[in-house]
Amino acid sequence: MIDLQGAGRAGIKNDVLSGLTVALALVPEAVAFAFVAGVEPLVGLYAAFMVGLITSCIGGRPGMISGATGALAVVMVALVADHGVEYLFAAVVLMGIMQVLAGVLRLGKFIRMVPHPVMLGFVNGLAIVIFLAQLGQFGIEGGTGWLQGTSFEGSIVDVAWMQGSQLYVMLGLVALTMGIIHFLPKLTTAIPSSLVAIVFVSLLVVGLNIDTRTVGDVASIAGGFPSFHIPTVPLNLETLQIIFPYSLVLAAIGLIESLLTLRLIDEVTETRGRGNKECVGQGVANVVTGFFGGMGGCAMIGQSMINVNSGGRGRLSGITAALSLLAFILFASSLIEQIPVAALVGVMFIVVIGTFEWSSFRIMNKVPRMDALVIILVSGVTVATDLAFAVVVGVIVSALAFAWEHAKHISVIRREGRENSTYYEVHGPLFFASTSEFVEQFTPADDLDDVVIDFAHSRVADHSGITAIDGLAERYQQAGKTLHLIHLSGDCKRLLSKAGDLVEANVVEDPKYFVADDAIA
């Protein structure tokens, strides 16, 4: 059973009204991302409807909105250009299967490995991307801003900008929309301010016959129900070779963006979503979408923030958004096409202001220098490339910085032991980044004939550490010294093949400790 959670009647009302607001904002983006992918507008709208509906029903994060996104569209365009839209549908189905497997294998938990500085850079970069995407709407031709939702390419360059009264009208309507959204909640929260702003500005434009661009100037959204359609591609190995790389990249980008959005909504609402369930929900949605002529999709941070800020917290908000979008396609396309683009731009500018972590400026001088660099790096890469790649870069840089910092923590204390022996006491983690420093602390030629290395205050974290110990044991063996390695786990000792009998089998005082790479297996 679907849990349409909400705090009584007030919760249901908030979910329905916020869902309607989101649906209005979904229309131009779904159309624009369809253009990016090189497919018909209805392919993007159907994806927004089906992905949004299914993930709202069975996903792991109530209140999160999913649909066609620019991050996926920019990957799809090459496949559509080279092989046609039917191969795209097949790739979306395979993408969904991969995402379901990721959820079944419980891979969603790995989103916890994304450090907080990466999250800050991610949301800041996203806010900049959303802002830049709207600037294209100030061009004479229009639509170019939404067409490039994830990068600079084509979004600002070569746009013929509005001038004179046309520009002033656009700016005025955008400012009016933002003003309503900002000040209305001070008077009443009964109706989402974004919805009021869109309706009021639309009525103003129609009533005063103001000459400004509308949704209908971007593309027509009229259509029928999506119909079941098996992709007409050859079912052979060659087809799999064509679509597999695209499906793999699409699945990875979709899950990264969805799980990061889930985490962001968790923080905003102070609740907790279920990452693995969301992976399955996204996968099922994309499989169904591929069989019904949609371009696939994932979580949409901008629309999710609109929903949350408008009071949407339950699954009903996402379901309402999806069903409203379908209703627009079937019955109300002529009305929706009259909505001024300026009103939707104003809504997205408010999202930009709410999404950007302004506190990151204040903490730049208070956090470690590497964390500040990661925030800036991820923000820049997000704007220049795409969200998923930026997160991967941020995680890698953070991990390398962590490894470099902790490599300095390894230390070895040497002293003369009892009964004519040399005693070494190792402190700190032994892993790939600290092995060189570790090995340099030992001098087999200068040590006494009996040598003891105590690992009671150290932990071997990976196979590189084991290899370093193994090589050290071999050096002492070649020097004719007797070496005792104490306080090593049983797992570690079994892997020290070159040390042979030099390891004291009767000295194991930490039987619960396991080497990291073996414990995972």
- Beta-carbon neighbour count of residue 441 at 10 Å? 14
Map tokens 């027509």 to a residue: 220
19 has pLDDT over 80: yes
Domains in the chain: boundaries: 11-363, 408-520
- Residues linked to residue 297 through DSSP beta bridges, in sequence order: none
Per-residue pLDDT at 47? 94
CATH code of the domain occupying 408-520? 3.30.750.24
Q: What percent of the chain has pLDDT over 90?
A: 32
pTM of the model: 0.70
Task: Report the sign of the C-alpha dihedral through residues 257, 258, 260, 265, in that order.
Answer: positive
pLDDT at 506: 35
Q: Given a cut of 90, is residue 179 above it in pLDDT? A: yes
Residue 32 has pLDDT above 80, yes or no: no
pLDDT of res. 429: 86
Least confident segment among 193-202, 248-257, 323-332, 458-467: 458-467
Rounded CA-CA distance 233/430 in Å is: 53
Q: Which of the two residues, 200 and 495, has the higher pLDDT score?
A: 200
Contact 87, 231 (CB under 8 A): yes
Are residues 29 and 321 in contact, defined by beta-carbon separation less than 8 angstroms? no
State the Cα–Cα distance between residues 342 and 402, nearest whole angstrom. Answer: 45
SS3 161: strand
According to the model, what pLDDT value does residue 362 have? 87
At residue 425, does pLDDT exceed 50? Answer: yes
Of residues 327 and 417, which shows the higher confidence score?
Answer: 327
For the packed helices 8-37 and 193-207, what is the interaxial angle rounded to 10 degrees? 60
Per-residue pLDDT tens over the stretch 453-504: 888 888 887 778 888 887 888 888 888 888 888 887 666 666 555 545 544 4
pLDDT band at 242 (very low <50, low <70, confident <90, very high): very high
CA–CA dist 408, 237 (Å, integer): 50
Of the candidates 302, 53, 307, the residue with the CA atom closest to the CA atom of residue 192 = 307
Percent of the chain with pLDDT over 70: 87
Residue that is written with structure tokens 């110990």 in the block:
469
Q: Inform me whether the pLDDT recorded for 321 exceeds 60.
A: yes
- The pLDDT of residue 96 is 97
Structure tokens at 244: 């597999």
What is the rounded CA–CA span in Å between residue 441 and residue 412? Answer: 6
Query: Are the C-beta atoms of residues 25 and 307 closer than 8 Å to each other?
Result: no
> Which tokens sit at 321?
């958004």
Sign of CA dihedral 250, 256, 258, 261: negative
The residue that leads in pLDDT, 104 or 109, is 104
pLDDT at res. 251: 92
Q: 381 is written with which tokens?
A: 């890469």
Q: Is the backbone of residue 465 left (phi > 0), alpha (psi -120 to 50) or beta? A: alpha
Cα distance between residue 282 and residue 254, in whole Å = 8
Flag whether pLDDT at 283 surpasses 60: yes
Give the residue with greater pLDDT, 61 vs 472: 61
Phi, psi of 140 (to 5 degrees): -65, -40
Check residues 508 and 304 and name the one with the higher pLDDT.
304
3-state secondary structure 216-266: HHHCCCCCCCCCCCCCCCCCCHHHHHHHHHHHHHHHHHHHHHHHHHHHHHH
Mean pLDDT of 119-142: 77
The 3-class secondary structure across 458-517, one letter per residue, is EEECCHHHHHHHHHHHHHHHHCCCEEEEECCCHHHHHHCCCCHHHCCCCCCCCCCCCCHH
Least confident interval from 84-88, 172-176, 401-405, 458-462: 458-462
Residues 476 and 502: beta-carbon distance below 8 Å:
yes
Rounded-to-integer distance, Cα 244 and Cα 219, Å: 32
Dihedrals phi, psi of 385, to nearest 5 degrees: -125, -100
Terminal Cα distance for the chain, rounded: 36
3-state secondary structure of 322: helix
